[in-house]
Amino acid sequence: MSRGEAVTGDGYHLAQLNVGKILYAQNSEEMSGFVNALDEINALAEASPGFVWRLKSDAGNAMDYTVIDDETLVNMSVWETRESLFEYVYRSAHTHYLARRKEWFHMPTEGHMVLWWVPAGHEPTLEEAEERLTYLRDHGPTPMAFTFKRAFDWDGEPLPAAAAMAKA
């Protein structure tokens, strides 16, 4: 096993924030394909190996939360490893909806996903997540805030790009 794979070490988990600016009102017919899939996609995430926690309201999803402005929706979760998150995002039924994102969201013009390590058991706040995203946008990937493409281990050591995981 290479450094950073399937091991977080010293009790750390990987947090992620993904934001998207919606093209239409949340309750519009145009957004129904996305909104109606949330329960299925969230259940898939929660059943995925390595899943730890996700931000959700009493409604069971994160549609009630926004950052930046009222049209920017969030998805925030915590995973045991970078690999477990990658498997869910790019190798599960989630990819079907990921491929359709242009139907519901503006294409990002700046960083829209940020990863960072948190102590096991910590549930990050939206404020913390937004700070990490802002840091990534301002400084690029560092051990404080990074991406799949340019990632760091819990102790700040660089990890192979996600492309190496995709070939595994």
Domain that holds residue 102: 12-167
pLDDT more than 90, % of the chain:
80
CATH number of the domain bearing residue 17: 3.30.70.100
Decide which of 115 and 1 is more confident.
115
pTM of the predicted structure, to 2 decimals: 0.90
Taking 80 as the threshold, does the pLDDT of residue 10 lie above it? no
Number of domains in the chain: 1
HEC per residue, the chain: CCCCCCCCCCCEEEEEEEEEEECCCCCCHHHHHHHCCHHHHHHHHHHCCCEEEECCCCCCCCCCCECCCCCEEEEEEEECCHHHHHHHHHHCCHHHHHHCHHHCECCCCCCCEEEEEEECCCCCCHHHHHHHHHHHHHHCCECCEECCCCCECCCCCECCCHHHHHHC
pLDDT in tens, 79-114: 999 999 999 999 999 999 999 999 999 999 999 999
Q: Tell whether 159 is covered by a domain.
A: yes
Over residues 49-71, mean pLDDT: 91
pLDDT at residue 67 in the model: 87
pLDDT exceeds 70 at position 4: no
Find the range with the poorest average confidence among 10-14, 26-30, 146-150.
Answer: 10-14
Q: Is residue 4 part of a domain?
A: no
> Domain for residue 3, yes or no?
no
Residue 42 lies in a domain: yes
Mean of the per-residue pLDDT values of the chain: 91
* Domain presence at residue 92: yes
Tell me, yes or no, whether 49 lies in a domain: yes
Residue 129 inside a domain? The answer is yes
In a domain, 104, yes or no: yes
